[in-house]
Every structure is written in structure tokens, then in C-alpha cells.
Amino acid sequence: MIRRFFVTLIALLTLAYLVLPLVVILGSSVTTTPFLSFPPQGASLKWYATMLHEPGYVSAYATSTMLATSATALAMLLAVPAAIALARYEYAGKRSVHALLSAPMVLPHIVLAAALLQFGGSFGLVRNFPSLLVGHVVIVMPFILQSVMPLFTSGQLALEEASADLGATRLETFFLVTLPQIRPGLVAGAVIAFITSWINVEMSIFNTTAELNTIPVKLFNYVQYTIDPTIAAVSGATIVAAAIAILVLDLSIGLGMLDETP
């Protein structure tokens, strides 16, 4: 039917629109020319090699990864007990607590970063790894919280009660029953947290230095002045990494987005 055709057409064009820039970046990253060109002239991976040999990029990759890893780990340590406190207890002010813990997810990152700069700057928490870590933990913790909380269902509560009924202490119940059950949410949340931290610019931009840099900030600074195939290669690498991450996630846990309800 005609309407279906038009909707499909728009949809596919939109999909093309979504894919186009990524294709352009990947394409121009393999050009043999020393300037950016799309379609690429020739095909070569030399710009990827250049990127891997430049210590600035390598250390930025390392910093980004270390930052994302530690931010995710710290966020998990903070968020999991908080999730239990929100899901299993009743007390005054619970909604405010939940709002506070979720707030960084909806508020402008540039504002959060500026606030941390002003606050941290007054006692030396600037331009070092801890200053980066703190900002990243603040913005990724809500993702872990949001990912884990739905798993505290009434069925899960019954399991925890059964565990207590059978003689397990609260700690034993947490490690033997709760943790294995919330693991899918924990993993999904950790992945989202990791990626969110890795690609984030705003929370890093005030605290990076020449020696302590993240890939997104490095890219951001570079791109404003010049664009060349090396930058395309760096960007291409992140696209490939994102694609792999998504595929792994979907194949293992299943993204479960827009799936038809059975």
C-alpha cells in the first residue's frame, strides 16, 4: 500500500542519514592521501598505524580506558548498596534520595563540570586523575542504579526472604542470592557506564592537561583547528570499538530494544 511505501522510504532514508557520517569517517580514514578525502583515494591502514605510534594517542587511549574502568567500578560500589536501600526499604525522604541519585543523568554536563571545576579548584582537585574520576563517577552512577533497580522485583524479594528463612545472614543472602540474580542488570549498567565515561567530553574538558588527556578531549581540541586522516583513523577506531561492543552486548545479553512483546 502506498502509505507503507512512503513510510518505509522515509525510514530507510533516515537510517541512511544515521549511518552516513560513520561511513564517511571510516572511509576517509583509509585514504592514501595525506589530506582528508571522501570518497577515499586508495585504501591503506597507515593512518591507524600512525595513531598507534604516537605516544600522545596511546597514552590518551590508556587514560580514557583507565578512567572509564575506575569510574565504572567506583560507581558500582556506590550504586548497588543504594539500589538495595531504595528497593527494599521504606523511609521518609526516599523519593528525594532517588531523585538526587538520578539527577546527574538529566542535568547539563557542562554545568556539572563547571561546578566541579570551581569547587575542586579551590582545594586542588583539578587537572589530575582524581578530579576526572570524580566527575565521571557522578554522571555514570545513575546508569548503574537505573539498570539494577528494575531487577529488585517481588520475585527477587521472595528469593531473599527464602534465603533468610533458611538461615542465611543478610550478607550471605546478598552474595549468594542477590548478586547472582542482579548480575545481568549489573553487567548492562556497567557497559553503559563504561561507554558513557569513555566517550564523554564535558566532564573531562576542564581537567585534562598535555600529559593527562582523554581521546574525546584530544579529538575535540584537534578537530577545531584541522582535520586530517589521522583524526579520521582515531575516530574510526572508536566507531569500530562501539560496533564490537554493541554486537557483543546484543549477542550475549540481548539489547532487547524495540522487541515485540511476546
Partner 1 sequence: MPQPLLSLQGITKSFGSAPALREINLEIAHGEFVALLGPSGCGKTTLLRSIAGFVTPDSGRIQIDGVDMVGSPPHLRPLNTVFQHYALFPHMTVAQNAAYGPLRAGLSKREAETKAIEALAMVDMARFSERYPRELSGGQQQRVALARAVVNRPKLLLLDEPLSALDMKLRKRMQLELKQLQSSLGITFLFVTHDQEEAMAMADRIVLMNEGRIEQVGTGPQLYMQPRTRFAAEFIGEANFFDFRRSGGAIELNGGLATVATHAPDLPDRGLAVLRPEFLRLADASELSLEGCRFSATPLETLRLGSHDILYVQAQGHTMSVRLPGNRLPAHLPDQVELVFDPANLHLLCQEP
Partner 2 sequence: MSAQKFPALLLGAALAFLTAFFLIPMTVVLVASLQDKAGGLSIAQYARVLADSYHLAVVLTTFRISIFTTLLCVALAYPLAWYLVRIVRWRWWRRACVILLVIPLFTSNIVRSFGWIVLLGRNGLVNDAAVALGLADRPMRILGTETAILVGMVYVLLPLAVLGIGNALLKVDRALESASDDLGATPLRTFLHITFPLTLPGVVASAVMVFTLATSAYVTPALLSGGRVTVLSMLIFQQYSATFDFSFGGALSIVLLALTLILVGVASRFGKVRT
Q: Which of residues 154-173 bind partner 1 (CB under 8 A)?
A: 155, 158-159, 161-169, 172
- By the rule CB under 8 A, 140 interacts with partner 1: no
CA distances from 72 to 67, 207, 214 (A): 8, 19, 16
DSSP state of 175: I
Nearest to 199 by CA among 174, 234, 248: 234
- By the rule CB under 8 A, 180 interacts with partner 1: yes
* Among partner 2, partner 1, none, residue 52 binds (CB under 5-8 Å by kind): none
* 89: helix, strand or coil: coil
Q: Which of 97, 159, 168, 187 lies at the binding interface for partner 2 (CB under 8 A)?
A: 97
* Among partner 1, partner 2, none, residue 126 binds (CB under 5-8 Å by kind): none
Q: Which of 58, 111, 166, 248 lies at the binding interface for partner 2 (CB under 8 A)?
A: 111
Radius of gyration of the chain, Cα coordinates, nearest whole angstrom = 22
Nearest to 133 by CA among 88, 180, 183, 200: 200
Separation CA 111–CA 246 (nearest Å): 29
- State which of positions 72-111 bind partner 1 (CB under 8 A): none
CA torsion, points 242, 245, 251, 256, in degrees to nearest 10?
-70
Burial class (CB in 10 A: 0-12, 13-18, 19+), 192: middle
Going residue by residue from 12 to 51, which x/- string records binding to partner 2, judged by CB under 8 A?
x-xx-xxxxxx-xx--x-------x-x-------------
* Among partner 2, partner 1, none, residue 201 binds (CB under 5-8 Å by kind): partner 2
Give Dmax over CA atoms of the chain in angstroms.
70
- State which of positions 123-142 bind partner 2 (CB under 8 A): 134-135, 137-138, 141
Q: Which of 43, 106, 171, 210 lies at the binding interface for partner 2 (CB under 8 A)?
A: 106
Q: How many residues bind partner 1 (CB under 8 A)?
A: 17
Separation CA 208–CA 152 (nearest Å): 38
- By the rule CB under 8 A, 172 interacts with partner 2: no
Nearest to 29 by CA among 207, 223, 181, 231: 231
Min separation Cβ 262 and partner 1, Å: 17
Considering only 40-48, 49-57, 154-162, 176-184, which stretch makes contact with partner 2 by CB under 8 A?
154-162
Q: Which of 2, 53, 95, 108 lies at the binding interface for partner 2 (CB under 8 A)?
A: 108
Residues that bind partner 1 (CB under 8 A): 155, 158-159, 161-169, 172, 176-177, 180-181
